[in-house]
Structure 1
Amino acid sequence: MTKVTEIRNPILPGFNPDPSIVRVGDDFYIATSTFEWYPGVQIHHSRDLAHWRLVSRPLTRAAQLDLRGDPDSGGVWAPCLTHADGQFWLIYTDVKRRDGAWKDSHNYLVTAPSIDGPWSDPVYLNSSGFDPSLFHDEDGRKWLVNMIWDHRQQGGGKFGGIVCQEYSVAEQRLVGEVRNIYRGTDHKLTEGPHLYRRDGWYWLLTAEGGTGYDHAATMARSRDLFGPYETDPKKHLLTSKDAPEALLQRAGHADIVETQNGEFYLVHLCSRPLEETRGAAPGRVVGIHEEDARRSPLGRETAIQKLIWPAGEFPRLAHGGCVPTATAPAPDLPEHRFSPEPARTTFAPGALPPAFQWLRSPDSARLFSLDARPGALRLYGREAPGSHFDHALVARRQTDIAYSAETEIDFAPETYQQFAGLIAWYNGFKFHYLAVTAGEEGQRQLTVLSCPADWPMLRMVQPLAAPVDLPATGPVRLGCDVDGMTLRFRYALPGADWTDLGVTLDQSAISDEAGNGPGNNFTGAFVGMAAHDTSGRGHHADFLHFNYEPR
């Protein structure tokens, strides 16, 4: 029997934050946040904690989730996946407003008999704060815990503590008193709660310090569910805030799982700043050419650490200290690998290939079709890049610091208001776009549109000296090559070699940290296919395949 001896971090590379982990028999599942991307919530499966495969995105229909109008980095925050009473329970937040004094964060519950579903229509829970978690106590009662938002306070004081209220399965609603059970430490911004029952104690794991470079995971405990909770004398179980040299930064927002052999593991979010920016000081970037901040295009990823948790004591990282490591000792379980993801994606009628998502809308038929032209993905040009309502963009996560991506597009634009092509995307103020469009007289052209996060201008630039003229009809191959901080676009006509367009773009701008206006950013870089038609005619573009390969 082959066994893994070491787990390499991150276990879920690319945009996969806020992990919630559960074991059901020999199977482990992790749910992560998807924010404005549709369908909602990613669930990965493993049997050895080292190898993982995406198995489900459970929020697939309007009754469960409608993100139209949600802001960038709003939408689905911090899901919690548990298993009890023979079924899966999934709690999630839909954040409708995230900037300013208030947050509109609505919390819901769906259930399913298996990880593949069918997932129920949602039960509305509350809107008092985000990061909800469902705790199944030993006596069978169920409790919702979430952070509470206090708009009266300033700064970190708006995070008003962790509140607890009973959930009635029979009535499908919260019942009884709302109690504030833990107000956190002086590190503030206390959120991301998970409760555990062990050795006669209630253990409360929270995230603190904000989801930037001061992020941390903090443990507290109490003999009574409602407290008072005593904070771990060490304070933080996990953080990279005092270790700028560590590979895994922004470590926090964690959850704990026990293997069938009694070993404990902690999953947590993290990020990997680009090597070229690793020595920089953390901070807000005002312009893309400033060298005062670290940049993490892959966004917040999921990593794992082994824990030592003696009975009645606070848990500790097995390797000592509180800084996460790039590798972790594997559990005493048989190795379980999955088939590697193919580099080339072809399109067929039916469902979209699992690596891909789109933005916000439950009405996917208005945005794309796999049936209109068998063998192609047809995107219907809709609103402009960055639309919060009707945006035809289908993309996959960037999961590697360096990669190459290619597609082939068949598109006949009639006006410069129609454009479609290959896009490296973070949000409406951070993207690089190689687009087929039309000139003033209707001639088909190739251009580059770039919005490199240069707050406060928020300007789109066109870095090519002049558009490239294309034949009036026929497919065009589009490609990009990303290497850390840089992106270069290329194209090829049928039967011809690739032509580099001769411009180097700042890929580090396609990251959480790059400044783009009010608020913070919580997702990660994607690469994919897009079609836009600001004339309102819905002119379509057909994409014949898509390739993604690490370099």
Structure 2
Amino acid sequence: MIENPVLRGFNPDPSICRVGEVYYIATSTFEWYPGVQIHRSTDLVNWELAARPLRRASQLDMRGNPDSCGVWAPCLSHADGRFWLVYTDVKRFDGAFKDAHNYIVTCETVEGEWSDPVHVNSSGFDPSLFHDADGRKWFLNMRWNHRGRGTGLNPAHDSFDGIELQEWHPERGLLGEVVTIFTGSGLGLTEAPHLFRRDGWYYLTVAEGGTGYDHAVTMARSRAVTGPYEMHPDVHLMTARAAAGHPLQRVGHGQYVETPEGEGLHSFLCGRPLEGGFCPLGRETGLARVVWGADGWPRLEGGGMAPPVAVRAAARRRPDGAVHRSFQGRAELPPEFQWLRTPYPDRLFRLTGQALRITGRESIGSWFEQALVARRQEHHAYAAATVVDCDPAGWQQGAGLVTYYNRHKFHAALVTHEAGVGRCLTLVSCLGDWPGEALTFHGTVPLGAGVVRIEVQVEGAAQRFHVATGAEPLRAVGPVLDARIISDEGGRGEHASFTGAFVGMVAYDLTGRGWGADFLRFDYIPGA
């Protein structure tokens, strides 16, 4: 069976395409570097991370981008013997403007060196590229309207001003006039356009209803690529808006693809809320089978609009196992890890042959140079541990283990130094306080000599840190902490939180001297 979600833990906005027998899904990475995750599968059940293509400063530099900005809604396609990747770099979140710049990069192989970007436009976000049968290419994106009430084309939300389309040529750029082809349903917040062609019709998939529990996949079609487009008779192809209690919520934003046999599939994003309605794993990727009716419209196989948790397939999902990473002898960072914003990781960390040395830069709350190397939380229950060798000179230096969502949602256990105590472990949180980002301290624990092992155990809404030095056994430190903070719904909430929970290694040096810490290993162990 296809067990949804197929990509677990912060993999939103799935753009899917097939090349021969191989399927690819590209997902948003927002402020995490390198940009865009591309997973690959031959059976639709088991997926592997194939590439993160935006790896150079010329392709992506997000220093200064606010939380949940950066790379929004990539679109991956294959035509003319190469892959085409379209993406937005969003530079602003709050206020009337978005400052969203749309680019295209290409490569003959997913794993290869992708081209420098070509800037297409900056009129809105969620771009896509449609390759028509006649060889023409069409660029789509939602248009952002900053002018306020009564100015937009969909009164449900004025800023979401419809889906615009314009012809684009690889050498000549944008051609002809911009056409607004779709302004959405009454649900509004119309974004994430994707086009495909079938039986003489152009079908348009969009996301609507925002990124929360009203999210939906809406469809329309036209005989001409430029419209006019008629709405699906059911309006939505997928949504869980009326399916309270369904394990997959916040369903929306996906793309259609066909198997080699002509069967229809549609990707979607979803959240899996725990009791109390919080999604620590962020928005994940699922797949649903669709069937075509006599009226020429697709609907979910089995009926209804809430996608199933399990879908028929010819393979079985491989079980998740513990991941143990020693940094000794490694020349590259393990593939599950990312960092924040900067295209210059050598200023943040390097592999010495013995350890991962993280150079302390700015604070945990920085939008510029935050020395945090982390991986996604992929399970509702897990344990993560690291071993750190460091000797901070004062309280302005620290290194340790952090569960992190963004600058106002984190818990950290940090090896630092306090006068009168010496080297110690300090527990600190930012409990969703925005815009103040006030810190809450949970106590200080003296540490003995030697390397420090720090572990966090997370189970649903609760988490707790443990520590040991030298050959000591691990002991629990500090209180049980509220893991609900490290979720989409924590702090500012789901409509300003588009990523997911991470756990990782961090160092900072607020003196500006570049003090560093050596991390010897990192373990991630899924729970029951």
TM-score range, shorter chain: over 0.9
1:257-272 equivalent positions in 2, closer than 5 A = 257-272=257-272
1:207 counterpart residue number: 207
Distance in 1 separating the partners of 2:354 and 2:118: 39
**Cα distance, 1:329 vs. partner?**
1.6
Distance in 2 separating the partners of 1:44 and 1:180: 32
SS at match of 1:449: strand
1:446 aligned to 425, 447, 453, which one? 425
2:220 counterpart residue number: 220
2:37 counterpart residue number: 42
Relative to structure 1, the CA distance from residue 426 to residue 345 in structure 2 (aligned partners, 3 Å threshold; closer, same or farther) is: same
1:378 aligned to 331, 342, 357, which one? 357
Asked if residue 81 in structure 1 is aligned to residue 76 in structure 2, the reply is yes
AA at the equivalent of 2:162 = G
2:357–2:519 Cα contact (<8 Å) kept: yes
**Cα distance, 1:170 vs. partner?**
2.5
SS at match of 2:497: coil
Distance in 2 separating the partners of 1:211 and 1:309: 27
Asked if residue 352 in structure 1 is aligned to residue 333 in structure 2, the reply is yes
Distance in 2 separating the partners of 1:337 and 1:63: 38
Asked if residue 435 in structure 1 is aligned to residue 414 in structure 2, the reply is yes
SS at match of 1:445: strand
Percent identity over the alignment is: 54
Q: CA RMSD in A?
A: 1.6
**Cα distance, 1:63 vs. partner?**
0.4
Asked if residue 545 in structure 1 is aligned to residue 521 in structure 2, the reply is yes
SS at match of 2:441: coil
1:137 counterpart residue number: 132
Relative to structure 1, the CA distance from residue 517 to residue 183 in structure 2 (aligned partners, 3 Å threshold; closer, same or farther) is: closer
2:404 counterpart residue number: 425
1:250–1:270 Cα contact (<8 Å) kept: yes
Distance in 2 separating the partners of 1:119 and 1:68: 21
> Structure 1, residues 85-111: CA drift from partner, whole Å, max 9, x if none?
000000000000122111100000000
**Cα distance, 1:468 vs. partner?**
1.1
Asked if residue 525 in structure 1 is aligned to residue 501 in structure 2, the reply is yes
AA at the equivalent of 1:468 = V
Q: Could you list the runs of 4 or more consecutive aligned residues of structure 1 that deviate by over 3 angstroms after TM superposition?
A: 335-342, 454-458, 516-519
Relative to structure 1, the CA distance from residue 539 to residue 441 in structure 2 (aligned partners, 3 Å threshold; closer, same or farther) is: farther
1:414–1:442 Cα contact (<8 Å) kept: no
1:157 counterpart residue number: 158
**Cα distance, 1:340 vs. partner?**
5.9
Distance in 1 separating the partners of 2:479 and 2:382: 17
1:8 counterpart residue number: 3
2:385 counterpart residue number: 406
SS at match of 1:531: strand
Q: What is the count of residue pairs matched by the alignment?
A: 520
**Cα distance, 1:311 vs. partner?**
6.6
**Cα distance, 1:470 vs. partner?**
1.3
1:301 aligned to 280, 284, 295, which one? 284
> Structure 1, residues 101-131: CA drift from partner, whole Å, max 9, x if none?
1110000000000111120000001000000
SS at match of 1:491: strand
**Cα distance, 1:361 vs. partner?**
0.3
Distance in 1 separating the partners of 2:81 and 2:295: 29
Distance in 1 separating the partners of 2:316 and 2:354: 33
Asked if residue 369 in structure 1 is aligned to residue 350 in structure 2, the reply is yes
Asked if residue 462 in structure 1 is aligned to residue 453 in structure 2, the reply is no
Distance in 1 separating the partners of 2:437 and 2:63: 22
2:238–2:305 Cα contact (<8 Å) kept: yes
Distance in 1 separating the partners of 2:347 and 2:437: 28
AA at the equivalent of 2:228 = P
2:3–2:317 Cα contact (<8 Å) kept: no
**Cα distance, 1:82 vs. partner?**
0.1
Relative to structure 1, the CA distance from residue 518 to residue 536 in structure 2 (aligned partners, 3 Å threshold; closer, same or farther) is: farther
2:95 counterpart residue number: 100
1:147–1:162 Cα contact (<8 Å) kept: yes
1:19 aligned to 14, 19, 35, which one? 14
**Cα distance, 1:457 vs. partner?**
5.2
Relative to structure 1, the CA distance from residue 484 to residue 339 in structure 2 (aligned partners, 3 Å threshold; closer, same or farther) is: closer
Relative to structure 1, the CA distance from residue 125 to residue 510 in structure 2 (aligned partners, 3 Å threshold; closer, same or farther) is: same
SS at match of 1:487: strand
1:316 counterpart residue number: 299
SS at match of 1:157: coil
> Structure 1, residues 211-263: CA drift from partner, whole Å, max 9, x if none?
11100000000011111100011011000111121100000001111001111
1:282-293 equivalent positions in 2, closer than 5 A = none
1:481 counterpart residue number: 457
SS at match of 1:508: helix
Distance in 2 separating the partners of 1:304 and 1:221: 22
> Structure 1, residues 170-199: CA drift from partner, whole Å, max 9, x if none?
22x212111101111110000000001111
2:126–2:142 Cα contact (<8 Å) kept: yes
2:236 counterpart residue number: 236
Distance in 2 separating the partners of 1:175 and 1:339: 49
Distance in 1 separating the partners of 2:252 and 2:504: 29
SS at match of 1:365: helix
1:499 counterpart residue number: 475
**Cα distance, 1:295 vs. partner?**
0.9
**Cα distance, 1:458 vs. partner?**
3.2
SS at match of 2:484: helix
Gaps of 5+ in 1: 1-5, 278-293
Asked if residue 387 in structure 1 is aligned to residue 370 in structure 2, the reply is no
2:462–2:484 Cα contact (<8 Å) kept: yes
Distance in 2 separating the partners of 1:523 and 1:311: 39
> Structure 1, residues 45-66: CA drift from partner, whole Å, max 9, x if none?
0011111011100000100000
Relative to structure 1, the CA distance from residue 55 to residue 393 in structure 2 (aligned partners, 3 Å threshold; closer, same or farther) is: same
> Structure 1, residues 508-527: CA drift from partner, whole Å, max 9, x if none?
11011112389611000000
TM-score after normalising by structure 2: 0.96
2:9–2:282 Cα contact (<8 Å) kept: yes
Relative to structure 1, the CA distance from residue 518 to residue 424 in structure 2 (aligned partners, 3 Å threshold; closer, same or farther) is: closer
2:214–2:241 Cα contact (<8 Å) kept: yes
SS at match of 2:158: helix
AA at the equivalent of 1:350 = A
2:312 counterpart residue number: 329
SS at match of 2:346: helix
AA at the equivalent of 1:536 = G
**Cα distance, 1:349 vs. partner?**
3.8
